[in-house]
């Protein structure tokens, strides 16, 4: 005879909740680092003059790390943590209904997290491939815009950028870090969506077989 195991159900719910909270907590340092890295992009070699004179790559002004992968992800993370830890949340008469509603909210905000971090990932990748806005012998321009990203593996081309100093390395490192951070955020949010969907589709309690009971 098939019976529901209350102990197994309780442990499964606690484990699922703990896993969800841990994943949400991981988003916090990733968001904070995204903000820091994006801010550094405004100050090549620690100089503020290029930002004030608007001599930076245009993709820096999309605020992908500060706003989307940073502040917006912090808001999403806060909501997810509240949903994971608020066991007394009620939206309707049935307890099952309330839990499903919370699960749907969690899926919605996790999906928003994927959208926000995905935006940062795409913009950072475009900024990396385009290359920095720098002063060359022909004046200020995107020196590597027509190279389709070939300059990334050919450091001999970097000498075309005369100013700011080491701006190519600066952009490559920081945009690459942003891509990594936002990519991790996408993966974490995607895992959360899968976990929450499994709760809806498969149920959140375990089923065991006890032989000998008719």
**What mean pLDDT is predicted for residues 20-38?**
92
How many residues make up the chain in this entry? 214
What pLDDT score does 85 carry? 80
Task: Please say if the pLDDT value at position 11 is more than 90.
Answer: no
pLDDT tens across 126-135, in order? 999 999 999 9
Q: Which of 85-94, 144-153, 170-179, 195-204 is predicted most confidently?
A: 170-179
Q: What share of the chain has pLDDT > 90, as a percent?
A: 67
**Who wins on pLDDT, 109 or 17?**
109
Residue pair 129/172 in contact (Cβ under 8 Å)? The answer is no
Q: Provide the pLDDT confidence category of residue 96 given band limits of 50, 70 and 90.
A: low
Look at phi and psi of residue 208 and say left if phi exceeds 0, alpha if psi is from -120 to 50, else beta: beta
| 133-136 vs 139-142, strand pairing mode | antiparallel
Q: Provide the pLDDT confidence category of residue 110 given band limits of 50, 70 and 90.
A: very high
Look at phi and psi of residue 46 and say left if phi exceeds 0, alpha if psi is from -120 to 50, else beta: left
For the chain, the domains span: 21-42+56-87+96-133+167-206
Residue with tokens 């996790």: 110
Query: Quick one: 24 exposed, middle or buried, by C-beta within 10 A (0-12, 13-18, 19+)?
Result: buried
Residue pair 119/64 in contact (Cβ under 8 Å)? The answer is yes
């Amino acid at each position: 005879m098939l019976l529901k195991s209350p102990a197994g159900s309780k442990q499964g719910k606690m484990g699922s909740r703990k896993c969800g909270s841990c994943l949400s907590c991981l988003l916090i340092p990733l968001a904070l680092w995204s903000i820091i890295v994006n801010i550094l992009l405004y100050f090549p070699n620690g100089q503020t003059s290029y930002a004030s004179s608007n001599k930076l790559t245009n993709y820096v002004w999309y605020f992908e790390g500060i706003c989307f992968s940073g502040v917006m992800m912090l808001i999403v993370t806060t909501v997810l943590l509240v949903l994971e830890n608020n066991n007394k949340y009620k939206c309707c008469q049935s307890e099952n209904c309330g839990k499903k509603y919370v699960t749907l909210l969690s899926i919605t905000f996790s999906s928003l997290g994927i959208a926000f971090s995905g935006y940062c990932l795409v913009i950072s990748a475009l900024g990396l491939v385009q290359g920095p806005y720098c002063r060359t012998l022909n004046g200020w321009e995107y020196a590597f815009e027509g190279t389709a990203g070939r300059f990334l593996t050919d450091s001999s081309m970097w000498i075309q950028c005369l100013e700011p100093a080491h701006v190519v390395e600066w952009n490559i490192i920081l945009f690459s870090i942003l891509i990594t951070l936002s990519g991790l955020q996408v993966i974490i949010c995607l895992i959360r969506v899968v976990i929450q969907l499994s709760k809806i589709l498969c149920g959140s309690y375990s089923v065991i077989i006890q032989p000998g009971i008719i």
